[in-house]
């Protein structure tokens, strides 16, 4: 044995335990050539994972909605109000008509009961969710839902026991329901008369002075919501009918000048919009008093008003005055999902504002599925379906960015070469 090497050393131990490596065939390893690369396999697994995650998220949302509907019958008024708010947020995310088909009668009864008999927070939350639910439950159940909920909203609009916020919410929701679903002209006129009884409290006093009492200041948002709702429903009437209604019954065109002198900014803005819609729908010319008031508000610079209020007021009334004098409406383009809405009239602007305020984020989710909503927004009967976009993985994004950077570099170098040649010449 060589010197320095002991028997049984650790080197010999490791050498003795080494086994000859067997071939892949002997080990039973499948050596079949796989045409799928590692990157493509990862992308396929990620796409499958994304689809599974989407389906899982949809199932969770359905379960959450059904759970929230069950919570609408809770004993606590606060719990019911919270459930209504959470349900409204959930319904704004996705169209759930198939899920709510069997819940139509239950939802109509729960919402109408909450508006009539609930606590104040519950009544307000129920009024806010009513337009969204009417479009979510499907086209077949809309009439029954509106027939049960609308009387409760009408009664609460003028209910002094309800808070001002609740009455304001009921005015806006009722206007949207009638605008989308009501076809009886007589019913529309009756609701407009109810609205007139509300905002008539902002008229001038008998001696021509402005009402500046505390209740009038507090009720400004309520009066403005009623006036906006009245103008929105006026656009549903035919031009002769709207003209005769405006001339025969209150409020006449001259009354709008009184509303534009109100102490509340919301009432003044709503009155200006109502003047533009009334002129657009009926063709009735504004009187000199109304035009003079429009000119004053378009240049108003009173320091006792807030700076932001003055700015909003001047911008709004400048557009209205320009329309009354030059018949020019400022166009408004709004993207809803994959489609674009052009609001080229004051009636269209009022319609979009009312629907966006009532539906919120649900406007984009419901637009492809609700015919009444599409008709109100002026969209085509069939929604334009965009090609599904596949989400790029990290490697694809890196390659795309590298290609774009290379193209920019080449273009920049060409420009630099031209500059160098010009300098040499």
**Each residue of 206-241: pLDDT tens digit?**
777 788 777 777 899 999 999 999 999 999 999 999
Token output for 38: 């590692």
Q: Of the candidates 142, 132, 54, 143, which has an alpha carbon nearest to the alpha carbon of residue 96?
A: 132
Half-sphere exposure of 186 (CA within 13 A, CB side): 0
Q: How confident is the model at residue 54 (pLDDT cuts 50, 70, 90)?
A: low
In the block, tokens 């090497």 appear at 5
Q: In the prediction, which pLDDT does 237 show?
A: 92
Q: How far is CA 131 from CA 88, 275, 422, in A?
A: 10, 26, 67
Q: Is 142 within 8 Å of 119 (Cβ atoms)?
A: no
Q: Looking at 315-324, 403-412, 416-425, which range is the least confident one?
A: 416-425
In the block, tokens 């490596």 appear at 21
Token output for 155: 């009664």
Q: How confident is the model at residue 322 (pLDDT cuts 50, 70, 90)?
A: very high
Q: Is 158 within 8 Å of 198 (Cβ atoms)?
A: yes
Q: How confident is the model at residue 385 (pLDDT cuts 50, 70, 90)?
A: very low
Q: In the prediction, which pLDDT does 391 show?
A: 62
What is the average per-residue pLDDT within 353-370? 92
pLDDT at 89 over 90: yes
Q: In the prediction, which pLDDT does 390 show?
A: 57
Q: Looking at 109-118, 145-154, 299-308, which range is the least confident one?
A: 299-308
What is the average per-residue pLDDT within 355-374? 92
One DSSP character per residue, 159-195 reads -TTS-HHHHHHHHHHHHHHHHHH---HHHHHHHHHHH
Q: What share of the chain in percent tops pLDDT 70? A: 81
Q: Rounded mean pLDDT of the chain?
A: 82
Q: Residue 386, Cβ neighbours under 10 Å: how many?
A: 9
Q: How confident is the model at residue 32 (pLDDT cuts 50, 70, 90)?
A: very low
Provide Rg for the chain, Cα atoms: 33
In whole angstroms, give the CA distance from residue 232 to residue 345: 12
Q: In the prediction, which pLDDT does 55 show?
A: 63
What is the tens place of the pLDDT at every residue in 256-314? 889 998 888 999 999 999 999 999 998 888 888 899 999 999 988 776 677 888 889 99
What is the tens place of the pLDDT at every residue in 13-26? 444 444 444 444 44
What is the tens place of the pLDDT at every residue in 60-84? 888 999 999 999 999 999 999 999 9
What is the average per-residue pLDDT within 398-409? 87
Q: Which residue has the higher pLDDT, 155 or 56?
A: 155
Q: In the prediction, which pLDDT does 386 show?
A: 44
pLDDT at 200 over 50: yes
Q: In the prediction, which pLDDT does 33 show?
A: 40
Q: How confident is the model at residue 388 (pLDDT cuts 50, 70, 90)?
A: very low
Q: How confident is the model at residue 10 (pLDDT cuts 50, 70, 90)?
A: very low
In whole angstroms, give the CA distance from residue 210 to residue 223: 15
What is the average per-residue pLDDT within 373-388? 70
């Amino acid at each position: 044995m060589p010197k320095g090497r002991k028997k049984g050393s650790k080197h010999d131990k490791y050498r003795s335990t080494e086994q000859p490596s067997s071939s892949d065939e002997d080990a039973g390893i499948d050596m079949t050539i796989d045409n799928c690369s590692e990157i493509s396999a990862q992308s396929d697994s990620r796409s499958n994972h994304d689809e599974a995650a989407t389906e899982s998220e949809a199932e969770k949302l359905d379960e959450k909605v059904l759970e929230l509907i069950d919570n609408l019958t809770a004993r606590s008024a606060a719990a019911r109000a919270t459930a209504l708010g959470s349900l409204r947020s959930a319904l704004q995310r996705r169209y759930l008509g198939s899920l709510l088909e069997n819940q139509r009668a239950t939802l109509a009864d729960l919402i109408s009961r909450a508006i009539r008999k609930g606590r104040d927070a519950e009544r307000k939350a129920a009024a806010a969710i009513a337009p969204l639910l009417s479009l979510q439950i499907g086209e077949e159940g809309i009439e029954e839902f509106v027939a049960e909920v609308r009387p409760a909203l009408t009664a609460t609009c003028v209910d002094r026991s309800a808070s001002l916020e609740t009455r304001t919410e009921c005015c806006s929701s009722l206007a949207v329901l009638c605008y989308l679903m009501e076809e009886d002209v007589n019913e529309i006129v009756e609701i407009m008369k109810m609205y007139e009884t509300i905002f008539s409290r902002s008229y001038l006093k008998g001696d021509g002075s402005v009402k500046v009492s505390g209740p009038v200041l507090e009720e400004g948002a309520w009066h403005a919501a009623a006036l906006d709702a009245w103008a929105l429903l006026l656009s549903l009437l035919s031009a002769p009918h709207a003209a005769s209604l405006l001339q025969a019954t209150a409020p006449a065109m001259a009354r709008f000048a009184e509303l534009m002198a109100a102490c509340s900014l919301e009432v003044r803005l709503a009155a200006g919009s109502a003047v533009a819609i009334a002129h657009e729908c009926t063709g009735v010319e504004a009187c000199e008093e109304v035009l003079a008031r429009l000119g004053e508000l378009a240049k108003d610079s009173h320091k006792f008003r807030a700076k932001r209020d003055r700015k909003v007021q001047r911008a709004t009334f400048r557009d209205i005055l320009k329309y009354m004098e030059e018949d020019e409406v400022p166009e408004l383009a709004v993207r809803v999902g994959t489609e674009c809405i052009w609001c080229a009239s004051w009636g269209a602007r009022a319609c979009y504002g009312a629907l966006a305020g009532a539906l919120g984020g649900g406007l984009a989710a419901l637009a492809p599925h609700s015919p009444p909503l599409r008709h109100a927004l002026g969209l085509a009967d069939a929604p334009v379906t965009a090609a599904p976009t596949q989400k790029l993985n990290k490697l694809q994004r890196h390659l795309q960015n590298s290609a774009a950077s290379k193209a920019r570099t080449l273009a920049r170098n060409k420009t630099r070469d031209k500059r160098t040649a010009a300098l040499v010449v």
